[in-house]
């Protein structure tokens, strides 16, 4: 069984949803359960995934995602069409390396900028940058319901997880109509609901 180190509502939620979509069992370990997490990941971030089949402990969300999608044949990741595969990887990287860091600025500013006006100005700029990225997603969704085409891909799941983060900040992030519909469909997936429930149970067990 896979072991996933997680934080509630963090990007590790997308890893867990994809594991469930792939029909894989997963045991969750809350980051706060680990006395010295730097031994698991020197960078200090989740997700971290232990793969029992190769004995490796993997870090970096996009690398974990691609490893899982390649290992477990599935309709979310094209295996025989090189161009479609490249697009799927591009979408994963857009989510992980472009959209996620854009949201990370909000978390950073809330702890690093103490002057209220300066912080709010930073939030507004960061929110504009995030909205511009959602417009890129909206443009991609004009002809298809998901970035993955007719069905949700790992990138759709990752973006849907990040879309929940804006609510924690005093910001106005614009998400287009087709993108909102994509997110609603992803949040309604059984795997997503089960993953949220499993996170909640693991977090409750810590109290
Ligand atoms: N590039 C890393 C970034 C991961 C990341 O920033 N994770 C956040 C949660 S979404 C985290 O673990 N932050 C540390 C913390 O909140 O303790 C990856 O994709 O795995």
What structural domains does the chain harbor?
2-75+190-206 (3.40.30.10), 82-187 (1.20.1050.10)
pLDDT of residue 206: 84
Ligand 1 binding pocket includes 29 (Cβ within 6 Å) = no
Contact 27, 49 (CB under 8 A): no
Ligand 1 binding pocket includes 46 (Cβ within 6 Å) = yes
* Helix/strand/coil for 50: strand
∠ Cα 126 46 190 (to 5°)? 90
- Report the distance separating Cα 45 and Cα 6, nearest Å: 9
pLDDT of residue 126: 98
pLDDT of residue 34: 96
pLDDT of residue 21: 97
Rama region for 94: left / alpha / beta (φ>0; ψ in -120 to 50; rest): alpha
Residue nearest to atom 5 of ligand 1 (CA): 45
- Report the distance separating Cα 116 and Cα 150, nearest Å: 44
| d(CA 81, ligand 1 centre) in Å | 31
Residue nearest to atom 2 of ligand 1 (CA): 60
Contact 183, 159 (CB under 8 A): yes
| d(CA 204, ligand 1 centre) in Å | 21
> What atom in ligand 1 is closest to the CA of residue 11?
10
Q: What is the pLDDT along the chain (207 residues), one digit of tens a residue?
A: 999 999 999 999 999 999 999 999 999 999 999 999 999 999 999 999 999 999 999 999 999 999 999 999 898 999 889 999 999 999 999 999 999 999 999 999 999 999 999 999 999 999 999 999 999 999 999 999 999 899 999 999 999 999 999 999 999 999 999 999 999 999 999 999 999 999 999 999 988
Alpha-carbon distance values, 122 to 102, 105, 108 (Å): 12, 9, 10
């Amino acid at each position: 069984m896979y072991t996933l180190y997680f934080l509630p509502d963090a990007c590790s939620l997308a890893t867990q949803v994809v594991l469930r979509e792939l029909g894989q069992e997963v045991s969750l370990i809350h980051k706060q359960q680990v006395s010295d997490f730097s031994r698991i990941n020197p960078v200090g971030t989740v997700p971290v995934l232990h793969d029992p089949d190769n004995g490796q402990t993997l870090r970096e969300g996009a690398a974990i995602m691609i490893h899982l999608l390649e290992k477990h044949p599935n309709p979310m990741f094209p295996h025989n069409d090189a161009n479609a595969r490249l697009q799927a990887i591009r979408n994963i990287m857009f989510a992980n390396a472009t959209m996620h860091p854009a949201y990370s600025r909000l978390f950073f500013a809330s702890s690093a900028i103490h002057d209220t006006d300066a912080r709010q100005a930073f939030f507004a700029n960061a929110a504009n940058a995030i909205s511009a990225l959602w417009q890129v997603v909206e443009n991609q969704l004009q002809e298809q319901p998901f970035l993955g085409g007719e069905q949700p891909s790992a990138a759709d799941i990752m973006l849907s997880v990040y879309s929940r983060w804006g609510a924690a900040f005093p910001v106005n992030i614009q998400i287009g109509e087709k993108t909102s519909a994509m997110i609603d469909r992803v949040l309604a997936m059984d795997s997503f609901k089960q993953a949220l429930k499993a996170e909640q149970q693991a977090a409750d067990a810590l109290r």
